[in-house]
Structure 1
Amino acid sequence: MPISPSQGSTGGGTPVTITGVNLAGATAVHFDGKSATITGNTPTSVSVLSPAGTGAVGARVTTAGGTSGPLGFYYVQPPVVPTVSPASGAAAGGDTVTITGRNLATATSVDFGATPVVPTVVSDTEITVATPATAAGEVSLVVHTQGGVFDDLAFTFVDPPTVTVFTPITGTTLGGTLVDITGTDLATTTDVTFGGDSATSFAALSDDRITAVTPPHALGAVPVTVTTTGGSDSAPLTYLYVL
């Protein structure tokens, strides 16, 4: 007789279905002596909620005709997730998020708000998932495994940035000029480039303002581009490197 699923939470309560023949009128289902709650019964199946337990156990069905042999069932520890990286991404979706922790090997779903996504299991300590398209804002992030649920997480979806103006508009080819950049959706800035070269340093002061220190660059006008977890945008004007 098959049992599905063959794994469940140590806390019990996992819906389990046992299929076979001559199962009508089942009077009990035990997981190594612990009674399961019967929720449905037909001549070919018994549905139950597993009791609490640990490790590998045998599930047995009892009817008026006797008791079946044991079916293997394994209790899985609930997941623990201390790290989600990155913790924000583009509202357009498609970003890869890495979730690390413990007891993740049986992960079946990761919910971003009301949207479930099937994860890729890398190991018992790591899963990855591609974000869905979602309106900007913070949503709950819930990891489902056969051992239980971890729901003490959040993920922030970010609209693409816009860069409107910066000052000063010129600086020396040696770099080192502090440039003040304003726009929208800048709080999650991950890079600022001048002509493709990353700023020596930058700081997001608010959602509409960042500062960046120019890198060395050859003479000429170059685009100023800001990249955030929501996307990238270049200022409408260029920055001019002078002697």
Structure 2
Amino acid sequence: MAPPVLTSVVPNTGPAAGTNPVTLNGSQFTGATAVLFGSAAALSYTVNTPSTITATVPPGTGTVNVTVRTPAGLSNTVAYTYAPTPTLSAIAPNQGPTSGGTSVVLTGTGLTGTTAVTFGGTPATSFTVNSATQITAVTPPGTGSVACTVTGPGGTSNSVIYTYLAAPALTALSPAQGPTDAGAAVTLTGTGLTTTFAVHFGAAPAAFTVVSDTTAIAIAPAGPAGSVPVSVTTSGGTSNSLAYQRVAPPAI
């Protein structure tokens, strides 16, 4: 009787905790008395046919040699690698609009071979594994604060928090008119203004100060007489616009 021959283990990587199923392919498996991962016995195994065995991987670390033992002897070895559990330490930026589409960078360890990135259980629109310590992902649509995790051969990571921000809304400008010269202070009232990073009067950017989530004060830039739309942009997107009227000085 010939000893068993092992040709592959599928998949050939898995979590350090073990308990995952693998399929061993080869020949002469009938009557197998042991399946070993290094020196550790498989938690369980079933000889399906003379050429396939399904086994449950025991816990382990690093790369080990898998072998099959039968009454005819011990097989050759095939490598199996215990992958580290991925960890996440940061996500940047950690907030964005509810519509999704934000490119974020996930930083951590053990990210090689990542098969899934989720935001509150929803798969990322897309992702790219840049290295063992970095992934770039595009956020799906969502609301509120959600847990972001990655899954790979080593299992599922801890979570980092990503917050979906509603788009800002403007309800009032005070005053709603001013001179064509620069320098008039205008109070913007609305909601979701905390993360404002731009205020525009038409296409012209304005200097501004965020007072609260509902109030910002902008300095109107110079411009021609007439109506100009005012809007704010935050991490949650760009607001509706309100009209600001520039009034020409009286002719002398």
What's the TM-score once normalised by structure 2's chain length?
A: 0.79
Q: Deviations over 1:43-90 (max 9, x none)?
A: 143333333333222112234443322111223222222211122222
What are the within-5 Å matches in structure 2 for residues 48-197 of structure 1?
48-117=55-124, 119-134=127-142, 136-170=143-177, 175=182, 177-197=184-204
Q: Is the Cα contact below 8 Å between 1:121 and 1:128 reproduced in 2?
A: yes
Q: CA deviation at 1:32?
A: 1.4
Q: CA deviation at 1:172?
A: 5.8
> In the alignment, which of 218, 228, 242 is matched to residue 213 of structure 1?
218
SS of the equivalent of 1:234 reads coil
* Matching residue's letter, 1:210: T
Q: Deviations over 1:196-215 (max 9, x none)?
A: 33333432622xx1314326
| Whole-angstrom distance in 2 between the partners of 1:40 and 1:178 | 78
Q: Is the Cα contact below 8 Å between 1:9 and 1:77 reproduced in 2?
A: yes
Q: Deviations over 1:173-199 (max 9, x none)?
A: 665554332223434434322333333
Count of residue pairs brought into register by the alignment: 240
Q: CA deviation at 1:166?
A: 2.2
Structure 1 unaligned blocks of 5 or more? none
Q: Deviations over 1:124-146 (max 9, x none)?
A: 12111222223x22222111122
Structure 2 CA distance for partners of 1:154 and 1:25, relative to 1, 3 Å: farther
| Whole-angstrom distance in 1 between the partners of 2:247 and 2:154 | 58
> In the alignment, which of 7, 25, 29 is matched to residue 35 of structure 2?
29
* Matching residue's letter, 1:159: A
Q: CA deviation at 1:39?
A: 5.4
Q: Is the Cα contact below 8 Å between 1:193 and 1:199 reproduced in 2?
A: yes
Q: Name 1:223's counterpart in structure 2.
A: 229
Q: CA deviation at 1:13?
A: 3.5
* Matching residue's letter, 2:74: T
Structure 2 CA distance for partners of 1:62 and 1:234, relative to 1, 3 Å: same
Q: Name 1:7's counterpart in structure 2.
A: 13
Structure 2 unaligned blocks of 5 or more? 1-6
* Matching residue's letter, 2:169: T
- Give the greater-gyration-radius structure (CA): 2
Q: CA RMSD in A?
A: 2.8
Q: Is the Cα contact below 8 Å between 1:194 and 1:239 reproduced in 2?
A: no
What's the TM-score once normalised by structure 1's chain length?
A: 0.82
| Whole-angstrom distance in 1 between the partners of 2:146 and 2:184 | 38
**Relative to structure 2, which stretch is displaced further, 176-185 or 63-72?**
176-185
Q: Is the Cα contact below 8 Å between 1:194 and 1:214 reproduced in 2?
A: no
Q: CA deviation at 1:239?
A: 5.5
Q: Is the Cα contact below 8 Å between 1:108 and 1:119 reproduced in 2?
A: no
